[in-house]
Amino acid sequence: VQYRLKQWKKSLNTLLQIKEIYLIELNEQEQINYYNAIGLIYKRINDYTKAIQYFHKATEVAHRFKRNEWVGILTGNIGDVY
């Protein structure tokens, strides 16, 4: 909801706390979504170094689980940063 309302920093804080507070064991798709969402938020707030870092984390998961469609999406997200 915060992301849709363009409350980028609140969204980022929520996402970063979710994994730590609840110690969620995410499946591969959830891991990709999680890292991609954080990357998108960092991109929105112009922290391009961290955006790329999280897009790369998502890409690593996508490669590991052979989610080639996501490799393409994430590569595009990295390209958008540049």
Q: How many CA atoms lie within 13 A of 51 on its CB side?
A: 19
Structure token digits, residue 64: 């590991």
Q: Output the six-digit token pair for 39.
A: 């990357």
State how far the Cα of 77 lies from the Cα of 82, in Å rounded to an integer.
9
Considering the entire predicted model, what is its pTM? 0.80
For residue range 32-81, what is the model confidence (pLDDT) as tens digits? 998 999 999 999 999 999 999 999 999 999 999 999 999 999 999 999 99
Cα within 13 Å of Cα(37), Cβ side: 21
Residue with tokens 């591969």: 28
